[in-house]
């Protein structure tokens, strides 16, 4: 029994440290989630993503159109001053 005791103590220490780190990581993750974006921020970000997706669609359309049409669209983007 005297030979098993140091090994058992090491195993218990490792187990306690592992459980402690797991609990700490769980609390840290929960704190990050609770400090995360509010619903207002979420709506703002969704609106921004929608707007960026619309811009990407326009750029894709411009990139895949024939040269003449591309040139006309670019000129139209310049406004009436061009």
Per run of 10 residues, the mean pLDDT along the chain (length 82 residues) is 81 93 90 70 90 90 72 77 55
Q: How far apart are the two ends of the chain, measured CA to CA in Å?
A: 93
List of E strands, the chain: none
Taking phi first (over 0 means left), then psi (-120 to 50 degrees means alpha), and beta for anything else, what does residue 79 get? Answer: left
Which strand (E) or helix (H) includes residue 4?
helix 4-34
- Residue 12: per-residue pLDDT: 92
């Amino acid at each position: 029994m005297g030979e098993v005791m140091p090994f058992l103590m090491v195993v218990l220490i490792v187990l306690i440290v592992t459980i402690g780190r797991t609990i700490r990581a769980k609390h840290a993750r929960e704190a990050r989630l609770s400090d995360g974006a509010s619903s207002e921020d979420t709506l703002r970000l969704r609106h921004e993503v929608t707007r960026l997706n619309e811009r990407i669609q326009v750029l894709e359309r411009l990139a895949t159109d024939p040269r003449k049409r591309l040139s006309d669209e670019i000129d139209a983007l310049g406004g009436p001053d061009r």
